[in-house]
Structure 1
Amino acid sequence: MFVFNNLRSLLRRSFTVFMGTSLFLGMFAGQAQAAGMQEMQNALRTCQSEFATDASRRLVCFDKVAEQYTPTHLVPPILAPSQQELVKSVDAETGYLSRKWHLNSQDELHFTDLETHQLNYLITTYSNNPNDVPTSPSRPNTQDRDLGHNDLHFQISLKTQLMNLSDWLPKNQWVQSARLWGAYTQQSFWQVYNEAQSRPMRDHNYSPELILSLGLNKPTEQSSWLNAMPDMLNVGLVHESNGRSQPLSRSWNRLYLQGGWQLNERYSLLVRPWWRIPENKSDDDNPNISKYMGYGDAILRWDNEANTTAASVTLRNNMRSDNKGYVKFDVQYKPLKTESVRFYAMLASGYGVSLLDYNQAQTMFGIGFAVGE
């Protein structure tokens, strides 16, 4: 009897402890779940407020929140990222280079998905030194075109993915994506304000292009010298001509290697050395073009946090003692709540404002509107 009473007392105490523990754990789980719900709501609000005017980045932010919190498991992870870290991670994945070249191998694109390559714009320009008598060593010319100082200048530049080669890549630690692009760029200079010369088209520049774009994996170790490697590498073949008959015909073909660095969330750098493919002497419209257009270019770009303003500097130089260079500074500003249309202004000075003007130095200022980035 004594043993039975002790056993019953022990069971009663055990049951009481079990119920108390269950109640405590239930309350703890409920509080943790409530905390998880609150954390998720805060993260979603951050996505909405930080990327209110950028739908694509807002969607990426929502996806990152979904990776951390699910409807069946709202308890936040032990090392849940802060709201600031969430914004930084979205910025890193939607930086200029990632947006422009789809360095994420999971991005799905189709042949019919046309995207901007270079900037598309329509601007009114002023040149301090119009090229009235364009000439080259192989194409002498004496005809004076009597140009005005003002042009209506526009550029159309599009690209499309021809093939996604990412799935064909062998497993490696260096390359995460590979895409083959086809691109086309056209610049036109229209003397629309030159009534005395019947408003002629001063020049067109046509430029088809084939580009292999590789997204690279950079090491995570902060001290590694490999951190200097680019985030992206483009290998391209480009033809450029103005489609004119002699003596105004100009053309050249180039192979280039372009490295892209996403320096931080705001700054990116593109460096592109090129090699001109030689032509027969009789076919060469501009045999000394490398002397003026140089052997490559570099572009430094800045985007503000809201992705409404961007500015860039483009540099070319021939790296010779008889220095021939070119510099362009441009600014894009998105005044309206639209994803595409922007106010655009540019200032360029040096050689090669257009292909026909490759050996004529001038300074040109333009203002107008741009589409894309």
Structure 2
Amino acid sequence: MLTPGDLRHIVLRSLIFFALPLSALATDANDLQNALRTCQSEFGEDARRRLLCFDQVAQQYAPTSPAAKIHTSKQAALVEKVDAKTNYLARKWHLNADDELHFTDLETYQLNYVVAAYSNNPNEVPTSPSRPNTQDRDLNNNDLHFQISLKTQLMNLSDWLPENRWVHSARLWGAYTQQSFWQVYSASQSRPMRDHNYSPELILSLGLNKPGEPKQWAALPDMVNLGVVHESNGRSEPLSRSWNRIYLQGGWQLNDRYSLLFRPWWRIPETKSNDDNPDISKYMGYGDAVLRWDNEANTTAASVTLRNNLRSDNKGYVKFDVQYKPLKSESVRFYAMLASGYGVSLLDYNQAQTMFGIGFAIGE
């Protein structure tokens, strides 16, 4: 027979048995709410990173997850992981092998923009060693300059990669970029198009580091792109210009805010009769480098692009640009650019000038 003391002991054990799980559930619920508040407060202006943060929280606090009892002290690590997966290189080139893309998912490649531009030295009489020219185009110093640049994934090769410690993702991209220079302010000349530059590309992109994980080697790029690109202006002689290149581009995410792209290239030789611009490498150099900065909220970005021929005559090019998102729109941005040197356009490859433009950009 149970004594009153035995009954009290059983009741106390029962209360402890049921109270502990309820207490744990309450703790997990509080942690979950705090984690969701962290996502909202840290990424309130960035829908992409906010959604990824919510996904991370859902995985972290799933009932079957061994990490379900991670407490609020881990929220800083959560934010850091989201930042790593959404930094510039990771989001631009989808370095996560699990990112699902389709052929119809068009993305921005280089920046898409429209600017009112001013040049201090427009190329009135474009010429090259193989295409002499004497016709003066009587250009206005002002242009409406715009660029359209898109890419799409042709194949995700990540599943085909053999087991290795170096390459974690592989994607084959097709890209197209077009720059146009419109003499919209030259009413007396019927507002002609000064030049178009057409540039299709094929790019194999390899992710060498999983975003959010330590690097195998500190100096290893986060990604490498192997590309082949054709660029021409589609004009007839003597204004025809074109060249073909193969390039190898390395990308380093230096930290959450800074990224570096370095791209040496090799020009594919042409026959003498077909070469519109045999000295183009003398002016356009043998590669370029881009250093980019993003602010913490991803509302402002600035970059500098450099080219140089690495020769004693030192012909080069530098471009500064700034993007600012004044509205809540994820895509439309204020844009300003300042470029100086050779090769502002393909037709101007051997004409030095300084060009300033201000307008709007879409994407990044």
Asked if TM exceeds 0.5, the reply is yes
Aligned partner of 2:98: which letter? Q
Picking from 317, 333, 342, the partner of 2:324 is: 333
Residue 56 of structure 1: how far off its partner (Å): 1.4
Picking from 38, 41, 51, the partner of 1:49 is: 41
Tell me the SS of whatever aligns to 2:116: strand
Do 2:308 and 2:317's aligned partners in 1 also have CA atoms closer than 8 Å?
Answer: yes
Residue in 2 aligned with 1:295?
286
Residue in 2 aligned with 1:191?
183
Picking from 271, 296, 301, the partner of 1:310 is: 301
Aligned partner of 1:128: which letter? N
Tell me the SS of whatever aligns to 1:107: coil
Residue 313 of structure 1: how far off its partner (Å): 0.6
For structure 1, which segment, 51-60 or 186-195, has the greater mean C-alpha deviation from structure 2 after superposition? Answer: 51-60
Q: Deviations along 1:318-351, whole A, 9 cap, x unmatched?
A: 1111101111000001111111111100000010
Picking from 187, 198, 202, the partner of 1:206 is: 198
Displacement over 4 Å in runs of 4+: 11-19, 71-76, 78-81, 218-222
For structure 1, which segment, 15-24 or 289-298, has the greater mean C-alpha deviation from structure 2 after superposition? Answer: 15-24
Aligned partner of 2:245: which letter? R
Residue 316 of structure 1: how far off its partner (Å): 0.5
Number of residue pairs the alignment of both structures matches:
363
Do 2:335 and 2:360's aligned partners in 1 also have CA atoms closer than 8 Å?
Answer: yes
Tell me the SS of whatever aligns to 2:312: coil
Residue 305 of structure 1: how far off its partner (Å): 1.1
For structure 1, which segment, 73-82 or 340-349, has the greater mean C-alpha deviation from structure 2 after superposition? Answer: 73-82
Picking from 163, 166, 170, the partner of 1:174 is: 166
Picking from 141, 152, 166, the partner of 1:160 is: 152
For structure 1, which segment, 22-31 or 103-112, has the greater mean C-alpha deviation from structure 2 after superposition? Answer: 22-31
Q: 1:16 to 1:201 in 2, by over 3 A?
A: same
For structure 1, which segment, 169-178 or 348-357, has the greater mean C-alpha deviation from structure 2 after superposition? Answer: 169-178
Picking from 79, 92, 103, the partner of 2:84 is: 92
Aligned partner of 1:49: which letter? S
Do 1:295 and 1:318's aligned partners in 2 also have CA atoms closer than 8 Å?
Answer: yes
Do 1:36 and 1:75's aligned partners in 2 also have CA atoms closer than 8 Å?
Answer: no
Tell me the SS of whatever aligns to 2:218: helix
Residue in 1 aligned with 2:136?
144
Residue in 1 aligned with 2:260?
269
Residue 28 of structure 1: how far off its partner (Å): 2.7
Tell me the SS of whatever aligns to 2:92: helix
Rounded to whole Å, the distance in 1 between the matches of 2:180 and 2:39 is 41
Residue 198 of structure 1: how far off its partner (Å): 1.6
| TM-score, reference length from structure 1 | 0.92
Picking from 351, 364, 367, the partner of 2:355 is: 364
Do structure 1's residue 343 and structure 2's residue 338 form an aligned pair? no
Residue in 2 aligned with 1:5?
none
Aligned partner of 2:353: which letter? Q
Do structure 1's residue 77 and structure 2's residue 69 form an aligned pair? yes
Aligned partner of 2:205: which letter? S
Rounded to whole Å, the distance in 2 between the matches of 1:221 and 1:69 is 24
Do 2:31 and 2:71's aligned partners in 1 also have CA atoms closer than 8 Å?
Answer: no
Do 1:37 and 1:74's aligned partners in 2 also have CA atoms closer than 8 Å?
Answer: no
Q: Deviations along 1:148-187, whole A, 9 cap, x unmatched?
A: 1000000000011111111111111111111000000000
Aligned partner of 2:110: which letter? Q
Q: 1:301 to 1:46 in 2, by over 3 A?
A: same
Do 1:173 and 1:217's aligned partners in 2 also have CA atoms closer than 8 Å?
Answer: no
Residue in 1 aligned with 2:114?
122
Residue 365 of structure 1: how far off its partner (Å): 0.3
Residue 82 of structure 1: how far off its partner (Å): 2.6
Residue 16 of structure 1: how far off its partner (Å): 5.0
| TM-score, reference length from structure 2 | 0.95
Rounded to whole Å, the distance in 2 between the matches of 1:17 and 1:185 is 78
Rounded to whole Å, the distance in 2 between the matches of 1:274 and 1:369 is 30
Tell me the SS of whatever aligns to 1:82: helix
Aligned partner of 2:84: which letter? A
Residue in 2 aligned with 1:3?
none
Aligned partner of 1:312: which letter? S
Do 2:257 and 2:295's aligned partners in 1 also have CA atoms closer than 8 Å?
Answer: yes
Residue 194 of structure 1: how far off its partner (Å): 1.1
Residue in 1 aligned with 2:221?
230
Gaps of 5+ in 1: 1-7
Tell me the SS of whatever aligns to 2:168: strand
Q: Deviations along 1:73-110, whole A, 9 cap, x unmatched?
A: 79952576532222111110001111111111111111
Rounded to whole Å, the distance in 2 between the matches of 1:69 and 1:135 is 66
Aligned partner of 1:203: which letter? D
Rounded to whole Å, the distance in 1 between the matches of 2:17 and 2:65 is 16
Aligned partner of 1:89: which letter? K
Residue 27 of structure 1: how far off its partner (Å): 2.3
Q: Deviations along 1:231-256, whole A, 9 cap, x unmatched?
A: 11100000000000111100000000
Picking from 331, 345, 355, the partner of 1:354 is: 345
